């Protein structure tokens, strides 16, 4: 008997379909990279991934007794960039260290350290169990449940992430007053504000003003952030009163070595995790609930990140990949546990910013196409690995923490500017005459203004604000690692509760699908195939039954005659 996916309840069909649909484009994923947009995009995503990751490393360094440091984060970012750049189905999704995984890492440390459980073997088992759960979800086609995600979920998630970035920038600056001295604090605030002014100014000059030729303005947009990071790293060495100011720098360690190489990590990058000798059997099973929580976190966080880099506004032409990418995420999570580094995950806002940096516009600003390729993700991962060498580590050690704060603010402001929740809030305070008469008014406000009834718009906007604030509020508590649960709850509300409050025709104007249908179809490809084959099987069975009855009738007629 011939075996098919049908005999195994279509297990693995989503992975199979992702590979089948994406593999024909693999060669073009490299040949399409022969485009100028790849160069500024690589530089941009390298800095916007590297520096925030190091800032999260600082959190883990302080709160895990120096278990995780800069080198662990660099190894993670390099591994994730190269693996997902070369082997993922959707290489536009940037993967690395996120705020939630840093919160998860030091929360686990705070819970298990008092009971004497060895941290690295325990985290290794958390990641290995999570890898198993990732494989089960991917093979079982359970990614399909995320079809419930609408624009509401993605919009408030983006809104929440940008608020976290602002909070993180403020936290870095406030630490300068506490950890160094008053002069360092005020100088750090000055550096961060100057970075924000220059960063936002370069974006305004490049996108909204009409000085200089278009290609000159584009240079400001493409390389503004890169130049700012380099300039303000050197700014503190200009002499004068700056020489008398002790600014906090990024912590560094030995090149290509773990931060705690020695008693805590006697075997270097390889964690000895086998039970009995390195960790008790009870602790191995204690890791399971933590692994379930981590899997739940990645299930939502990574797939939403992937969705947000494939939004409707981006004219993508190559197919999506969710099942295969989640399987790959699980495998890298297990590898991260063995190497003793934090687990990788999809990044927001880096993922959508990456896609946006690859968009080709016409002279009017209309999006024409996206340079869909693998080179930018792979290259930024390889460059991150080079940063672990001694010369580049020394350079990283020169970067003031205030530069990280400024970068957080720039990314947050850019993200909030394009976020629909922010734009809906801004609409409430706009001069309506400006919307009606000014041809330069953005289309998003014109669309809102054309709504026949504003009542439901205000209610929906309030629900978005409540959702974003709820997400942010839980991150300030000890239950911070449970924030994806809040987001999933809000996704269920958007699917089944909001239609009970807001009329469906009005809700359709405010909410909708995140991406185009050919992207979303990958969520339900297995269930669709089941239905298609079931219909075909039923038709064949019906046809066989019809043929049987015809044959029986013929035989009866023959006997009668």
pLDDT tens sequence across 488-542: 788 888 888 988 888 888 888 888 777 666 676 766 665 555 566 666 665 656 6
Q: In this predicted model, which residue has the larger pLDDT, 4 or 200?
A: 200
Question: Looking up tokens 């940096």, which residue turns up?
Answer: 357
pLDDT at 555: 54
Q: Is the pLDDT of residue 559 over 50?
A: no
**Mean of pLDDT values over 178-193:** 85
| pLDDT band of 82, cuts 50, 70, 90 | very high
- pLDDT tens digits along 200-253: 888 888 888 888 888 888 888 888 888 888 888 887 777 777 777 778 777 777
The rounded mean pLDDT for the chain is 82
**Mean of pLDDT values over 89-101:** 86
Least-confidence region, from 212-216, 478-482, 549-553: 549-553
In terms of Cβ atoms closer than 10 Å to its own Cβ (0-12, 13-18, 19+), residue 141 is buried
In angstroms, the Cα distances linking 334 to 126, 266, 298, 517 are: 9, 20, 13, 32
C-alpha–C-alpha distance, residues 520 and 513, integer Å: 8
In angstroms, the Cα distances linking 28 to 23, 38, 205, 230, 456 are: 10, 14, 34, 34, 45
Residues near 154 by beta carbon (within 8 Å), at least 6 away in sequence = 304, 307, 308, 311, 514
HSE-CB at 492 with a 13 A cutoff on CA atoms is 6
Q: Are 502 and 459 in contact (CB under 8 A)?
A: yes
Q: Is the pLDDT of residue 323 over 60?
A: yes
For residue 85, report the phi and psi dihedrals to the nearest 5 degrees.
-65, -40
pLDDT at 26: 92
pLDDT at 8: 41
Q: Show me where the domains of the chain are located.
A: 5-178+252-418+451-520
**Mean of pLDDT values over 374-386:** 92
pLDDT at 516: 67
pLDDT at 87: 93
pLDDT at 106: 82
Q: Are 83 and 328 in contact (CB under 8 A)?
A: yes
**Mean of pLDDT values over 75-79:** 90
pLDDT at 525: 64
Terminal CA-CA length for the chain: 40
C-alpha–C-alpha distance, residues 205 and 438, integer Å: 20
| pLDDT band of 311, cuts 50, 70, 90 | confident
pLDDT at 541: 61
| pLDDT band of 422, cuts 50, 70, 90 | very high
pLDDT at 465: 92
Burial 442-452 (b: 16+ CB within 10 A, else e): eeebeebeeee
pLDDT at 315: 86
| pLDDT band of 5, cuts 50, 70, 90 | very low
In angstroms, the Cα distances linking 27 to 23, 236, 472, 478 are: 8, 46, 42, 47
Q: Are 55 and 168 in contact (CB under 8 A)?
A: yes
pTM of the model: 0.82
Q: Is the pLDDT of residue 327 over 90?
A: yes
Q: In this predicted model, which residue has the larger pLDDT, 485 or 296?
A: 296
Q: Is 330 helix (H, G, I), strand (E, B) or coil?
A: helix
HSE-CB at 380 with a 13 A cutoff on CA atoms is 32
In terms of Cβ atoms closer than 10 Å to its own Cβ (0-12, 13-18, 19+), residue 192 is buried
Q: Are 54 and 75 in contact (CB under 8 A)?
A: no
For the record, the structure tokens of 151 come out as 């624009």
- pLDDT tens digits along 425-460: 999 999 988 988 888 888 888 888 888 888 999 999
Q: Is 160 helix (H, G, I), strand (E, B) or coil?
A: helix
Q: Is 251 helix (H, G, I), strand (E, B) or coil?
A: coil
Q: Is the pLDDT of residue 1 over 50?
A: no
């Amino acid at each position: 008997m011939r075996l098919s996916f049908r005999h195994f309840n279509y297990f693995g069909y989503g992975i199979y379909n992702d590979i089948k649909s994406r593999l024909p484009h693999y060669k073009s994923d490299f040949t399409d990279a022969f485009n100028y947009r790849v160069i500024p995009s690589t530089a941009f995503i390298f800095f916007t991934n590297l520096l925030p990751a190091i800032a999260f490393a600082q959190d883990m360094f302080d709160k895990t007794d120096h278990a995780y440091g800069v080198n662990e984060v660099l190894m993670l970012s390099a591994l994730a960039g190269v693996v997902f750049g070369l082997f993922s189905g959707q290489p536009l999704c940037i993967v690395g260290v996120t705020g939630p995984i840093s919160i998860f890492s030091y929360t686990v440390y705070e819970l298990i350290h008092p009971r004497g459980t060895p941290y690295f073997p325990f985290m290794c088992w958390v990641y290995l169990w999570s890898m198993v759960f990732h494989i089960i979800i991917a093979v079982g086609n359970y990614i399909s449940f995320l079809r419930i995600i609408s624009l509401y979920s993605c919009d408030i998630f983006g809104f929440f992430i940008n608020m976290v970035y602002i909070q993180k920038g403020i936290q870095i600056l406030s630490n300068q007053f506490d950890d160094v001295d008053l002069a360092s604090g005020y100088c750090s605030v000055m550096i961060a504000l100057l970075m924000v002014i220059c960063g936002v100014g370069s974006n305004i000059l490049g996108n909204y003003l009409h000085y200089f030729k278009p290609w000159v303005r584009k240079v400001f947009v493409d390389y503004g952030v890169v130049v700012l990071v380099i300039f303000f790293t050197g700014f503190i060495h200009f002499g004068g009163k700056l020489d008398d100011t002790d600014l906090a720098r990024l912590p560094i360690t030995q090149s290509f070595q773990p931060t705690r190489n020695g008693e805590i990590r006697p075997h270097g990058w390889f964690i000895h995790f086998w039970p009995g000798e390195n960790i008790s059997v009870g602790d191995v099973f204690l890791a399971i609930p933590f692994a379930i929580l981590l899997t739940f976190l990645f299930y939502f966080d990574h797939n939403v990140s992937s969705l947000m880099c494939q939004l409707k506004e981006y004219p993508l032409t190559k197919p999506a990949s969710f099942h295969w990418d989640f399987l790959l995420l699980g495998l890298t999570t297990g590898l991260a546990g063995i190497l003793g580094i934090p687990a990788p995950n999809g990044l927001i806002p880096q993922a959508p910013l990456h896609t946006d940096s690859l968009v080709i516009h016409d002279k009017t600003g209309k999006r024409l196409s996206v340079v869909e390729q693998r080179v930018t993700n792979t290259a930024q991962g390889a460059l991150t690995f080079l940063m672990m060498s001694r010369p580049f580590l020394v350079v990283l050690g020169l970067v003031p923490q205030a530069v990280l704060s400024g970068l957080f603010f720039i990314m947050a402001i850019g993200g909030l500017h394009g976020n629909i929740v922010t734009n809906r809030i801004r609409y409430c305070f706009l001069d309506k005459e400006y919307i009606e008469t000014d041809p330069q008014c953005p289309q998003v406000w014109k669309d809102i203004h054309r709504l026949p009834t504003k009542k439901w718009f205000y209610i929906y906007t309030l629900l978005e604000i409540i959702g974003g604030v709820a997400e942010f509020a839980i991150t300030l508590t000890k239950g911070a690692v449970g924030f994806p649960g809040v987001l999933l709850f809000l996704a269920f509300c958007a699917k089944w509760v909001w239609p009970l409050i807001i009329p469906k025709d009005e809700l359709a104007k405010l909410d909708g699908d995140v991406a185009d249908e050919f992207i979303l179809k990958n969520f339900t490809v297995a269930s669709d195939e089941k239905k298609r084959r079931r219909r075909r099987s039923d038709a064949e069975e019906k046809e066989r039954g019809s043929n049987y009855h015809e044959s029986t009738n013929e035989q009866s007629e023959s006997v009668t005659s």
